[in-house]
């Protein structure tokens, strides 16, 4: 049995639960209990506050954890980083009142900065050669300048709307952050085998993200040019059609190039273009 620490609520919760479900780990989401056994896979989930996850994995209370990089780095990277999961992307940023002129990092010299990330911020300021005072608070950091508690803040930013809503502007990125899969440094062989299987499933799900399966009919005399547009996994699959002059082509394309590629395929005479979502991709 592998015990996975996951965030009990907050931004990471929904995406973590969706990833586990896609990986075939069925949990009764309705049940708000600390420890929950999964159906269909030898894991149990331990629901914790995000800032408790790095230590619980480092100390072996949980075997693995899914946690924001911000918390992992703040708590000293004591667990083993297994995989970057690519979701819950955000950045830890410095923000100041929006009407302040900002000449550069020297603005922070002698100022007070409110944050929940004192270790990361202390390291950052030391690297930048800036001396500032930190005011450590555990939540609602964005209200600190407005109530005279600090001159500036260092907090997680995703869309930026929280900052804008508090008359603040982002001026420096301290570090980018995303969800991470972390593990206890020494797992038993049994637990490591379960983690390897979990990782295999996560990788198949993450590899499918941003990709589409494309099926089309192409005139045989333009096949070379059409294949140049479709790199495929190894190379595209080409099957002759019954009429002899046309072929059917199957391949995988990147979603962010989708419209560009489809436009070019049509211009080359491709027809009957069918685009399908890819759920999992095992390479
Ligand atoms: P936003 O208004 O979208 O920029 O989000 C900012 C608020 O959401 C701040 O209170 C952040 O602490 C929190 N937040 C944003 N992204 C994340 C994340 N990936 N993980 C945890 N908290 C986040």
pLDDT in tens, 186-208: 999 999 999 999 999 999 999 99
Q: Distance between CA atoms of 111 and 241, rounded to whole angstroms?
A: 72
- Pairing type for strands 43-48 and 237-240 reads unpaired
* Token duo for residue 2: 């592998």
Distance 76 CA to ligand 1 centre (A): 21
pLDDT in tens, 161-191: 999 999 999 999 999 999 999 999 999 999 9
pLDDT in tens, 15-40: 999 999 999 998 877 767 888 899 88
Query: What is the reported pLDDT for 109?
Result: 98
Q: Distance between CA atoms of 34 and 157, rounded to whole angstroms?
A: 29
Atom 13 in ligand 1: which residue has the minimum CA distance? Answer: 156
* Token duo for residue 270: 């491709």
pLDDT in tens, 64-106: 999 999 999 999 999 999 999 999 999 999 999 999 999 999 9
Which whole-number Å values give the CA distances from 158 to 105, 136, 144, 176, 206, in the listed order? 21, 21, 19, 10, 21
Q: For ligand 1, which residues put their CB under 6 angstroms from it?
A: 10-11, 68, 88, 90, 155-162
Atom 16 in ligand 1: which residue has the minimum CA distance? Answer: 158
CA max distance for the chain: 78
Query: What is the reported pLDDT for 31?
Result: 67
Q: Is the pTM of this model over 0.75?
A: yes
Are 54 and 79 a contacting pair, CB within 8 Å?
A: yes
If one counts every other C-beta atom within 10 angstroms of the C-beta of residue 230, the result is 20
Q: What domains sit in the chain, N to C, each tagged with a CATH number?
A: 2-87+178-207 (3.40.190.10), 90-177 (3.40.190.10), 210-277 (3.30.70.120)
Are 28 and 36 a contacting pair, CB within 8 Å?
A: yes
Q: In whole angstroms, how large is the CA radius of gyration of the chain?
A: 24
Distance 213 CA to ligand 1 centre (A): 33
Distance, first Cα to last Cα, the chain: 27
Q: Which run of H or E residues covers position 208? A: helix 189-208
pLDDT in tens, 128-149: 999 999 999 999 999 999 999 9
Q: Distance between CA atoms of 42 and 202, rounded to whole angstroms?
A: 15
Q: Distance between CA atoms of 250 and 112, rounded to whole angstroms?
A: 59
Are 93 and 173 a contacting pair, CB within 8 Å?
A: yes
Q: Return the DSSP state at 38.
A: P
Q: Distance between CA atoms of 208 and 280, rounded to whole angstroms?
A: 5
**Residue of 90, 91, 161 with the most ligand 1 atoms within 8 Å of its CB, for mutation:** 90
pLDDT in tens, 222-267: 999 999 998 777 788 999 999 889 999 999 999 888 899 999 999 9
């Amino acid at each position: 049995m592998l015990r996975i620490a996951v965030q009990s609520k907050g931004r990471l919760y929904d995406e973590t639960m969706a990833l586990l479900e896609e990986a075939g780990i069925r949990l009764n989401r309705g049940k708000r209990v600390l420890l929950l056994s999964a159906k269909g896979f030898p894991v149990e989930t331990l629901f914790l506050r995000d800032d408790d996850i790095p230590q619980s994995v480092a100390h072996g209370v949980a075997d693995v954890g899914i946690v924001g990089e911000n918390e992992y780095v703040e708590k000293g990277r004591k667990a083993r980083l297994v995989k970057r999961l690519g979701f819950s992307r955000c950045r830890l940023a410095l923000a100041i009142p929006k009407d302040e002129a900002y000449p550069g990092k020297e603005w922070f010299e002698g100022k007070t900065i409110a944050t929940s990330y004192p270790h990361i911020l202390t390291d950052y300021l030391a690297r930048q050669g800036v001396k500032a005072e930190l005011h450590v608070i555990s939540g609602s950091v964005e209200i600190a300048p407005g109530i005279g508690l600090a001159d500036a803040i260092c907090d997680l930013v995703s869309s930026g709307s929280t900052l804008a809503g508090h008359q603040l502007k982002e001026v420096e990125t301290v570090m980018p952050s995303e969800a991470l899969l972390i593990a206890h440094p020494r797992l038993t062989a049994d637990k490591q085998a379960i983690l390897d299987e979990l990782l295999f499933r996560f990788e198949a799900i993450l590899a499918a993200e941003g990709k589409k399966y494309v099926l089309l009919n192409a005139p045989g005399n333009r096949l070379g040019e059409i294949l140049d547009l479709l790199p495929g996994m190894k190379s595209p699959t080409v099957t002759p059609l019954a009429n002899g002059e046309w072929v059917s082509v199957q391949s995988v394309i990147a979603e962010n190039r989708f419209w560009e590629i489809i436009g070019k395929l049509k211009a080359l005479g491709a027809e009957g273009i069918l685009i399908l979502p890819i759920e999992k991709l095992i390479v």
